[in-house]
Homo-oligomer: A and B are copies of this chain.
Amino acid sequence: MKTENQALFEKFHLLKSNAGTHSPSITTIKSELPELEIKVDACFLSNPYATELFLKYFRKELIDTGEINRVLEFYPSQNKEISQLVGGHLQIDPSRIFIANGATEIIQAIIHNFVKEKLLINIPTFSPYYEFALPHTEVIYYNLKKEENFRLDPDDYISFVKENKPHTIVLINPNNPDGGYLSHNEMIRLIQELAWVPNIIIDESFIHFAFENSSLELPSIVSMMDQFPNLYIIKSMSKDFGIAGIRCGYAIMPPDKVKQLLKTGYLWNSGGLAEYFFRLYTRKDFLKEYEEVRKKYITESLFFVTELGTIPKIKVYPTKANFVLIEILNGKSADEISTELLLNYGIYVRNCSDKIGLNGQFIRVATRYKLENEYIVKSLREVFHK
C-alpha cells in the first residue's frame, strides 16, 4: 500500500470504529476525509431512480412553487393525522398505523415498550434489533447457516422457537445483510404455526425489491394483518423510495399498541418533508411512476447479481433485496478487500466483519445505477484476478 493510502486507510478505520456497528455515512466521510474520492457508494442500500423520481416531484411542487417555505417553517401534522392518510392508501384501519421518524425509531419504540423477557434474533442481522434491547431483555440468537446460504429453514426455525419459547421473534424479509427471502406462503405458514408467540415482528423494509413472479409484483404480508393480532410490520421508506435523509417509515401493529405509544409520545415525530412524502405515497400519479422505477431497478439488480456470479474466487449469495452478500474466497479478509476497493477504485462497500454471525470474509454490495454496477463488476473482476 502506498504511504498516502496508508494514512487514508488509518483515518478511514478510525471513522469506521467511531460509527459502531454501522458504516460511517457518506456525509461524515466527505466532511472528515475530503481527500478520499468515493466514486460509487455501494454501502448505501437505496434505489437511485426512486430518489430521482422523488426529487422531480419535490422540485416541481415544493421548490418551484415556493411551497417549501411553508413546509420548513410550520409544524407538520400530528402523528395520527398522517396515519389517516397512510391508512387510506393501504386500506388498513389507521388505528393500526404508527408513523415514525425512520424505521429505527419504530424498532426502538417496539423493543422498548413491548418486548418483555426473551427476544429472538436471527443472525446475521441489522444490529439495532439487539442493540436497542433494554437491560431486562434477554436476547437469544438463531443462527442462519452459511452452508444453507443463510436462508431460514422454516421447520428448523419453528422447532427452535418451540424449544426456546421467546416472547418476541423478528423476521426481516428479505433479510439484511444476506438478502435471503422467505416466500409469501412460507411466511404465512410461519406466522400460523407461531401464532402463540406474543410478538412477531416482520421487517419488510426491503420487500419492494422482492417478487415471486415475472411481473415483479409485491408479496407483502400487510393484507394478512387482521388475522394475526400478534404481528408488527415495520416498513422503512429510505431504501425503496431513496429518501434516507427525510427519515420516514411506518409500522402496522395492534391498535392497542399504537394507542399506547401515542398516549405518551411521538406527537410531532414527522418532519415537514416526511409529511410531504407520505402525501405523495398516497397519490396515484406518483405511485404509477414509482412502480416503473421499482421494476427497472429490480431488473438491473438481477443482471448485476448474475454478472457478479461469474467472478471467480468469490461466492455470491442468493438475494431478493437490492444488495448482495459476497464471501471472499481468495484468502484475503473483508478488511483488506473493502479497503482495496475504497482506496484503489473509489468503491465503498459494507465490510461485514462487525456483523455477529459472519466471520471476516464477507462484504455486502448494493445495487446502484447501471453504469456504477458495471464499474463494480469490472473492478471486482480485476481485484479477484490478481
Contact = CB atoms under 8 A, between A and B. Distances in A.
Interface of A: 18-20, 22, 25-28, 41, 44, 46, 48, 51, 54-55, 58, 63, 68-78, 81, 101-102, 104-105, 108, 111-112, 128, 131-134, 238, 242-247, 263-275
A28 B54 CA distance: 23
Given A108-B266, A269-B105, A273-B271, A25 B243 contact: no
A128 B269 CA distance: 13
A73 B112 contact: no
A267 B25 contact: no
Contacts of A263: 131
A273 to B, nearest CB: 7
A74 B268 contact: no
A46 B27 contact: no
Contact of A267 (B27, B81, B104, B246): B104
A364 to B, nearest CB: 15
A41 B270 CA distance: 21
A169 to B, nearest CB: 19
A133 to B, nearest CB: 7
Contacts of A74: 25-27, 41, 44, 46, 244-245
B264 A246 contact: no
B51 A265 contact: no
A79 B69 CA distance: 26
Contact of A73 (B18, B108, B245, B272): B245
B22 A78 contact: yes
B75 A244 contact: yes
13 contacts: A25-B77, A25-B78, A27-B74, A27-B75, A28-B81, A41-B74, A51-B73, A55-B68, A70-B245, A76-B247, A134-B264, A271-B271, A273-B273
Contacts of A70: 26-27, 245
A248 to B, nearest CB: 9
A243 B72 contact: yes
A161 B5 CA distance: 61
Contact of A72 (B26, B51, B270): B51
A76 B245 contact: yes
Nearest to A105: B269
Contacts of A18: 81
Contacts of A128: 267
Contacts of A274: 271
Contacts of A264: 108, 111-112, 131-134
A91 to B, nearest CB: 21
